[in-house]
Amino acid sequence: MARPKTFDEDAATDAAMRAFWANGYEGTSTQDLCEATGLGRSSIYNTFAGKHELFERSLARYIERKTGSTLELLAGDLPVAEKLRTMLYGAVDPPADEPLGCLVVNSLIELGPHDAVIAAQLRADAQVRLAALTTAIEAGQRAGEISPDKDAASLAQFVVATISGIRVLARGGAGRAELAAIAETALTALS
């Protein structure tokens, strides 16, 4: 008879997510996952069927939280220009208790080119974010907050690329002033 689980799967997934976020997929060993989650190897393999499945679930959790908060912001009542400022400055001033960078960007670079499962997960997330951002930018154009002579979908791509770039630079050690200057340049380009 199998022993019942005596741990919180969600908490273990969250801990693994932070380990992958900080160190990448290849840079996170099974031992690192054991230390991060407090689980033994057998619990990890019995519950998650291995490192890759745990990574998939960790990435899904990250996307659920980060994209979910972005969608919530974009659906809110703030003016569109303020929504975009909030998104950009969210990358400039991330929560202090989070690893630097972005698990989506890291995964796109590290695994996207050769892992079809992860690439599909990342493409689906990108489509959702870009659609919501394009819709918000179109609303900003109608309201006169964003130049109507620019393509909304291209602007959405620009915002995503800028936020990704800010996160990569932050992980590389760029200072806040440099990151804020990038955000301000992007906001100027959007107006």
Quote the Cα angle for 56-97-79, to 5°: 85
Q: What was the pLDDT predicted at 1? A: 42
Determine the structural domain holding residue 73 and report its residue range.
62-190
Residue 137 within any structural domain of the chain? yes
Inside any domain, residue 72: yes
Supply the pLDDT for residue 158: 97
Question: How confident is the chain (191 residues) per 10-residue block, as mean pLDDT?
Answer: 60 93 94 89 81 94 96 96 97 93 94 95 97 97 93 97 96 96 95 83
In a domain, 85, yes or no: yes
- Give a yes or no: residue 129 inside a domain: yes
Would you say residue 144 lies in a domain? Answer: yes
pLDDT at 50: 83
Separation in Å, CA 139 to CA 95, 112, 157: 29, 32, 16
- The enclosing domain of 184 has a CATH number of 1.10.357.10
Asked if residue 179 belongs to a domain, the reply is yes
Task: Say if 52 falls within a structural domain.
Answer: no
- Number of structural domains (the chain) is 1
